[in-house]
């Protein structure tokens, strides 16, 4: 090989990764979205929820949220099973600062109604509800992978909505 060809190949080998990096930094977006559930179709009610009406697009009813002392924050994590709540809350409190999200543990008297309103399918025992009362995710917090997914999706929701609102002065 001649010297100019070697020089050209060496230049391309060194310059091409740098050009790809600059291109991706300029035009690429590395953001994930946590879509609201049941916005296109009805929520699965099942036989355990007779008479419960699921509207499209679905939002958790105000009547139930009022009974649970829900506050309109960027993300609320609602647990329907007290037995697994303490372990999950300990893990979440290590990751998220105080006040970043609201945590509600549903009392025994509202457990069945909450499971219907949150359209929880077994084995899911927790759900994220955003400030627009839409369900953003459902999780089985006894499963470590599900808890990791919960933490990841909560982080995305808080970055996308909570921080944006804080900067806009809404909170």
Token code pair at residue 109: 């008297």
- Reported as a single tens digit per residue, the pLDDT across 67-102 is 888 887 888 899 988 777 777 777 777 787 666 788
**Which residue range forms the structural domain that includes residue 88?**
62-168
pLDDT digits (tens, 9 = 90+) for 9-45: 988 888 989 888 888 888 877 667 888 898 887 777 6
For the chain, percent of residues with pLDDT exceeding 70: 88
Q: Are residues 26 and 81 in the same domain?
A: no
Integer Cα distance of 97 and 163 in angstroms: 13
- Inside any domain, residue 56: no
Give the mean model confidence (pLDDT) for residues 108-135. 89
135-156 as b/e: b if 16+ CB within 10 A: bbbbbbbeeeebbeebbebbbb
Residue 102 belongs to some domain of the structure: yes
Report the CATH number that the domain containing residue 158 is assigned in CATH. Answer: 3.40.30
């Amino acid at each position: 090989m001649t010297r100019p060809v070697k020089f050209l190949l060496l230049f391309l080998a060194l310059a091409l990764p740098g050009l790809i990096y600059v291109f991706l930094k300029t035009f690429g977006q590395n953001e994930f979205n946590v879509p609201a559930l049941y916005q296109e179709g009805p929520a699965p009610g099942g036989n355990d929820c007779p008479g419960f009406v699921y509207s499209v697009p679905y939002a958790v009813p105000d009547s139930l949220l009022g009974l649970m002392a829900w506050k309109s924050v960027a993300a609320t994590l609602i647990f329907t099973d007290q037995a697994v709540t303490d372990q999950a809350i300990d893990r979440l409190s290590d990751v998220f600062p105080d006040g970043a999200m609201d945590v509600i543990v549903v009392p025994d008297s509202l457990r069945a109604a909450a499971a219907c309103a949150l359209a929880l399918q077994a084995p899911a025992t927790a759900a994220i509800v955003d400030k627009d009362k839409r369900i953003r995710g459902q999780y089985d917090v006894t499963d470590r992978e599900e808890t990791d997914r919960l933490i990841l999706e909560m982080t995305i929701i808080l970055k996308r909505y909570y921080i944006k609102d804080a900067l806009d002065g809404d909170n």
